[in-house]
Chain A
């Protein structure tokens, strides 16, 4: 076996790569999350490891209005990702019939809120909608709308990419069989796009669940999403309470993502080629 091959594919090299992965990525990606989880159960933390274990922080949460905050976050994320998916999918489908230049402009429009720092987006919303006729300041809707604007780009791009991959032969065969454009859309295109749609919905949902900077600028006193709570808790020094809230946020988001990923049509099984 020639040397360069064994260097990359040899058994020793493979183990070395795995070790490198563990050393470099584990501390960066997984450990901080584990630390948060550990902190949420800690009585105190002065050394390398927590001093003791307690579920007191979670008990505190259960007594307080954290459940409300969780519900607010879930509702906001569900509404924002739903709206984003609707808008993004519609725009992606409509853009197919447009000239390339217009498509680029539409794409740029959607990406704009992502490119701009979200704190700026929050401020922009605050300023823009603080006067009649569009007076949205201090409403729950402004939070939902801001989240929608922030995440639509991801839905739009994901659906656009999936549409580009979709073989036009499906659509054309359906049309040749006499299916109207609406029938083609609902019975052929959307079922074939479903895997991408659920993936996009999951991504938008997760992004909205964690959104803080624009939310900070906009939230009304009766609509406090969980990230705002976490920020407030850590801000006043209640680190372990914040950690417990963070774990709740993390677990809920993961649970929803898992549930969404289980929605799949038979189309998600790719044909063997």
Chain B
């Protein structure tokens, strides 16, 4: 344990100049813009997840930091220094990619030492720093192996050790867990979170399409869609108050319903169903209503019941027919179709002892505070 603490201290001492800033970065291939006027700041020591579907520009943003794509306009800063014109090998970053990319002709030890030799670390220091990095990722004892002799998870640990050995201020992770199976992925997420705690000066830019990775690991999440930054905030704030229907559906799951403002704190679904919403000053015209499935209850709400009325101002109660039922072990997902429009709401409720049958008439309820109104668009 003491060895470990000393290693962590040594590595922290070496890390400097974390932090990344994108300053109006646009990347384009011929006429196709793959990253459009991108602004984002990653603070020193912060884990920023770039979350988005494929083709959203998140990998391009990471590659702009690494130096593998040259922005058409804008600047990239690492540790406050403009690196836009620097080649990749002068940027002082660490990078971990999905397919590990360990050098197959080198032992684990030589893989981890590669960056140290490339950066002209004095010979006498190299062995110690390799051991330190391997120890941090739990791969001490594998130094003599070839990459092909390791499992996928072990290879990814070595790849992380290789990136950390050079003590970068910035660690870029490009879908690092995508090639691993679900169980290994959970373990590696825990490991990465531990590394983040132990190396508080290290900024991480974590590209993923998997929201659970982003929610687990990130201090902040930048949601990307079609080459643009859609939303950026802490996981909690994006979850509770997404800025758009796209963000709502990409961070956690969401019921998204087409609606129309009718008053300061109410919207109307197609067909005239009126719903009380979180007070936000109101608005006009089209909107999208967003309700998280786990915030919807099945049956009549406890306490006074009935349609939304002045005496139960913050509870919405709707009636419909069950169109879907999924058992998920600890929970049931019940999909209810609301007349007259047929819009569907999915509720995620604690496992039911006597679940409703398909077609059965049920009531669902949710608090006005849990009904968030977003700009229109993004509904099915």
Contact = CB atoms under 8 A, between A and B. Distances in A.
Shortest 5 CB-CB contacts between residues of A and residues of B: A177-B115, A267-B105, A169-B101, A176-B95, A175-B88
Contact of A173 (B91, B95, B146, B148): B95
B89 A179 contact: yes
A44 interface: no
Interface string B88-118: 1111111101010101111000000011001
A177 B104 contact: no
Contacts, number: 85
Interface string A163-193: 0000101101111111111011001100110
B87 interface: yes
A167 B100 CA distance: 11
A173 B104 contact: no
A170 B89 contact: no
B335 to A, nearest CB: 40
Nearest to B90: A178
B350 to A, nearest CB: 42
25 contacts: A167-B99, A169-B97, A169-B101, A170-B101, A172-B95, A173-B101, A174-B103, A174-B118, A175-B67, A175-B89, A176-B66, A176-B89, A177-B119, A177-B163, A178-B89, A179-B115, A183-B118, A188-B103, A266-B105, A267-B105, A269-B146, A269-B148, A270-B148, A271-B147, A272-B148
B172 interface: yes
A173 B112 CA distance: 12
Main secondary structure of the interface of B (DSSP, over half): mixed
A172 B68 contact: yes
A177 B172 contact: no
Nearest to A172: B68
Given A173-B101, A176-B89, A177-B115, 12 more contacts: A167-B99, A169-B97, A170-B103, A173-B95, A173-B97, A176-B93, A177-B94, A177-B118, A265-B105, A266-B106, A269-B148, A271-B147
B166 interface: yes
Nearest to B99: A169
B70 interface: no
A269 B148 CA distance: 8
B330 to A, nearest CB: 36
B87 A177 contact: no
A83 to B, nearest CB: 26
B105 A176 contact: no
A92 B340 CA distance: 67
A265 B146 CA distance: 13
A174 B162 CA distance: 10
Given A170-B103, A172-B68, A267-B104, A177 B162 contact: yes
A172 B103 CA distance: 11
Contacts of B90: 178
Interface string A6-27: 0000000000000000000000
Interface string A72-108: 0000000000000000000000000000000000000
Contacts of B147: 271
B88 A192 contact: no
A180 B118 contact: yes
Contacts of A267: 104-105
A119 to B, nearest CB: 43
A177 B166 contact: yes
A183 B147 CA distance: 20
Contacts of A183: 118
Contact of A178 (B92, B99, B159): B92
A113 to B, nearest CB: 34
Contacts of B104: 192, 266-267, 269-271
A158 to B, nearest CB: 19
Contacts of A269: 104, 146, 148
Contacts of B68: 172
Contacts of A187: 103, 114
Nearest to B106: A266
Contacts of B67: 175
Contacts of B97: 169, 172-173
A172 B87 CA distance: 11
